[in-house]
Structure 1
Amino acid sequence: MTTGLDGVIAAQTRLSHVDGEAGRLILCGYELEQLAGHWTYEEVVALLWQDLVPHPADLRQALGSGRTQAWQRFSPLLPCLDGMSAMEGMRFLLAAMPDEPVDATLLLAAAGVAMATAMRRAAGEMAIAPEIHLGHAADMLRMLRGRAGDIAEIRAFETYLVAAVDHGLNASTFTARVVASTEAGLASAVIAALGALKGPLHGGAPGPVLDMLDAIGSADRADVWVETAIARGERLMGFGHRIYRVRDPRADVLKAAVNVLRGRSNRIALAEVVEQAGLKALARHKPGRRLDINTEFYTALLLEALDVPRAGFTPVFASARTAGWIAHACEQQQTGRLLRPASQYVGPWPEPHLA
């Protein structure tokens, strides 16, 4: 019996392909490396949604308008966010979005506003209204930080959004497809996916990478700290992946984006030393396993370098992945088939009825 549905084909998709053996992520016929750092987030969303999700030709303008509409809807609800975490607040706000009429662009725009608004309220800060003329990445960064990014910061953040937009049939995306298969609306599918992402086994890995860097402290302590951690049987955060047996392709595009921010107030140089120390130690202690850097390692460094608080890492990821969830939900609904897997009963059987 297969547990965890590993290896089970639950859907056919044209959206993304994860090749764990070769270390490839393909999005609609493009290698991730062809898109991240080269295409805008709006361009990649349009690629995912092509012939699948109805959307305006000028997605940048439509998302700007959508952010304004979402802000108007969310503003009266802001007092209700008091005491909520960023993820809880984001979920609460998105629950205010209607399932009908279906407007995928508005829902994606709302995810960005909900993320930034919930993060700021959770931190005790005033929420920031969107600016309609900005690109989606630039405005989300401005809203969540309270200040505009420069060209390098916006480019790095946009690269992250593209790298996070879709990644096969992970737990949250599968959840979105299950809900969509019932013919529930897109908002219901996205909120359900958000709930799946909230669990630490799916969406909570980047923060502990920074906890590890905190513990190491300085580059001269990296080798000893890593060796000691491995000797204690501890996991090195940001190393290894359930699917990828070689280097996670998202790690390289994010590392390139992080390098754009080199020389600023960040811990990029320390992270590179820790990466090399970890790779050497793991190769020595676990020669039969290929444990390389995964996306969480440089996600943590990039978001920290952009002054995104750790509590906001998962909401920011969710705001990027919402486009993928919407695409998968629409693709699933096109099949007209309810997802209803079977289970194997292993409980007790009733006693035979005696006449």
Structure 2
Amino acid sequence: MSTTKGLEGVIATESSISSIIDDQLTYVGYEIDDLAAHSSFEEVVYLLWHKQLPTKLELDKIKNDLASNMEIPHEIIQHFKMYDLSSIHPMAALRTAVSLLGLYDPEVDKMEHDANLRKALRLQAKIAMVITAFARIREGKEPIKPKKHFGYAANFLYMLTGKEPEALEIEAFNKALVLHADHELNASTFTARVCVATLSDLYSGVTAAIGALKGPLHGGANEQVMQMLTEIGEVDNAIPYIKEKLRNKEKIMGMGHRVYRTGDPRAKHLKEMSKQLTKNTGQPKWYEMSLKIEKYIKDEKGLPANVDFYSASVYHSLGIAHDLFTPIFAMSRTSGWLAHILEQYENNRLIRPRAEYVGPIRQPFVQVEER
């Protein structure tokens, strides 16, 4: 029996949701460049779940359904108010709240396809308010209800800040959601599929995926990028800071990717949004600093920027707290997790790999008195 560390390159299942071929990411065969340029997040959600782009009527319906289902049970809001949220990481709160949502869904254990689609829509809608409610409650503020006529990206920003977002802010956040929606069989997606392959419920699958994303080797890179930029402070400090990091053999977050070799196709879209947003907020230094670091690392190490690198300055420019970056990643990726969960249910087989045993063998048992 041969093994591959980290299962790198191992084909574990078949899927028609997303692909990474020749460093090009597609959702159901549509290139990410086209989707980032032309689609709304709601269109991508529909595409991932139904394997086709929606008609105008279908798009209007899913937009309305998502906005109409965003409000969360009062008990979850009270649950947040029970704790000192200043000491709780938002990803831990999100993991628990999503699990708790399952207790309030009357169809939680109904496994028919249409029931699972309805649950998927409710969960995708409510996760936006879970994150914004948490963020506001820890600041001593009350949660804000969504506006029924707002799209998903606009509603999230509105529920977070209480202000109606500008067109550029909505465009940037919508692009970020589209770009993070799915990414083939990554660690959290694989976790979700393993979980529901036992025929566990949809909420358990997404809770398990959030637990996997919470780990610093999967989610959290953009939060660490922003921490790095904050430490650098000014554009002129960027290269000396990076040189010192490299001398100490420290990793530069947001550079390079496990799968992409020539460059992450998603990065350029957020790079442009970072340029526009930082200029709009009067803080172009975040973009200029990132630009210098990207060029230096590419020249010195041959590593291009990945999607996390510029999403950091995008989210920062939108006024989003840095520790909410990973929950936002989870909110977008929930659409992909749910697509994979639905696909797993449709052609399910229990996922049960083997392990190569490398421990001692045929050891004689010694009675406890003689050990």
TM-score by length of 2: 0.86
1:238 has 2:242 as partner:
no
Q: Give the CA RMSD over aligned residues.
A: 2.2
Using the TM superposition, give the Cα deviation of residue 79 of structure 1 relative to its aligned residue in structure 2, in angstroms: 2.3
Using the TM superposition, give the Cα deviation of residue 35 of structure 1 relative to its aligned residue in structure 2, in angstroms: 0.6
Please name the residue that 1:216 is paired with.
Answer: 232
Q: Distance in 2 between matches of 1:202 and 1:281?
A: 21
Please name the residue that 1:44 is paired with.
Answer: 44
Please name the residue that 2:70 is paired with.
Answer: 67
Residues 76-125 of structure 1: per-residue CA shift (max 9 Å, x gap): 43423543332222222211223234321101111111121122233443
Please name the residue that 1:303 is paired with.
Answer: 315
Please name the residue that 1:317 is paired with.
Answer: 329
Q: 1:273 to 1:76 in 2, by over 3 A?
A: closer
Structure-to-structure mapping, 1:158-173, within 5 angstroms: 158-173=174-189
1:93 has 2:109 as partner:
no
| Letter in structure 1 aligned against 2:215 | G
Structure-to-structure mapping, 1:335-350, within 5 angstroms: 335-350=347-362
Structure-to-structure mapping, 1:9-158, within 5 angstroms: 9-19=11-21, 22-50=22-50, 57=58, 58-68=61-71, 70-72=72-74, 74-83=76-85, 84-98=88-102, 99-101=108-110, 102=116, 103-158=119-174
Q: 1:350 to 1:80 in 2, by over 3 A?
A: farther
Using the TM superposition, give the Cα deviation of residue 43 of structure 1 relative to its aligned residue in structure 2, in angstroms: 0.7
Using the TM superposition, give the Cα deviation of residue 14 of structure 1 relative to its aligned residue in structure 2, in angstroms: 0.9
Q: Does the 8 Å CA contact 2:42/2:152 hold for their aligned counterparts?
A: yes
Q: 1:331 to 1:292 in 2, by over 3 A?
A: same
| Letter in structure 2 aligned against 1:248 | D
Q: Does the 8 Å CA contact 1:111/1:319 hold for their aligned counterparts?
A: yes
Q: Which runs of no fewer than 5 residues in structure 2 stay unpaired?
A: 103-107, 111-115, 366-371
Q: Does the 8 Å CA contact 1:71/1:129 hold for their aligned counterparts?
A: no
Q: Does the 8 Å CA contact 1:81/1:122 hold for their aligned counterparts?
A: no
Using the TM superposition, give the Cα deviation of residue 271 of structure 1 relative to its aligned residue in structure 2, in angstroms: 3.1
| Letter in structure 1 aligned against 2:220 | G
Q: Does the 8 Å CA contact 1:71/1:113 hold for their aligned counterparts?
A: no
Structure-to-structure mapping, 1:167-206, within 5 angstroms: 167-206=183-222
Using the TM superposition, give the Cα deviation of residue 67 of structure 1 relative to its aligned residue in structure 2, in angstroms: 0.7
Match of 1:251 among 260, 267, 287: 267
SS in 2 for 1:36: helix
Q: Distance in 1 between matches of 2:29 and 2:83?
A: 41
Q: 1:192 to 1:66 in 2, by over 3 A?
A: same
Q: 1:73 to 1:328 in 2, by over 3 A?
A: farther
SS in 1 for 2:20: strand
Match of 1:5 among 4, 7, 14: 7
Q: 1:344 to 1:270 in 2, by over 3 A?
A: same
Using the TM superposition, give the Cα deviation of residue 11 of structure 1 relative to its aligned residue in structure 2, in angstroms: 1.2
TM-score by length of 1: 0.90
| Letter in structure 1 aligned against 2:265 | P
Q: Does the 8 Å CA contact 2:146/2:155 hold for their aligned counterparts?
A: yes
Comparing 304-313 and 329-338, the one that deviates more: 329-338
Please name the residue that 1:293 is paired with.
Answer: 305
Q: Does the 8 Å CA contact 1:204/1:314 hold for their aligned counterparts?
A: yes
Residues 230-254 of structure 1: per-residue CA shift (max 9 Å, x gap): 2222222221111111221111111
Q: Percent identity between the aligned chains?
A: 38
Aligned length: 344
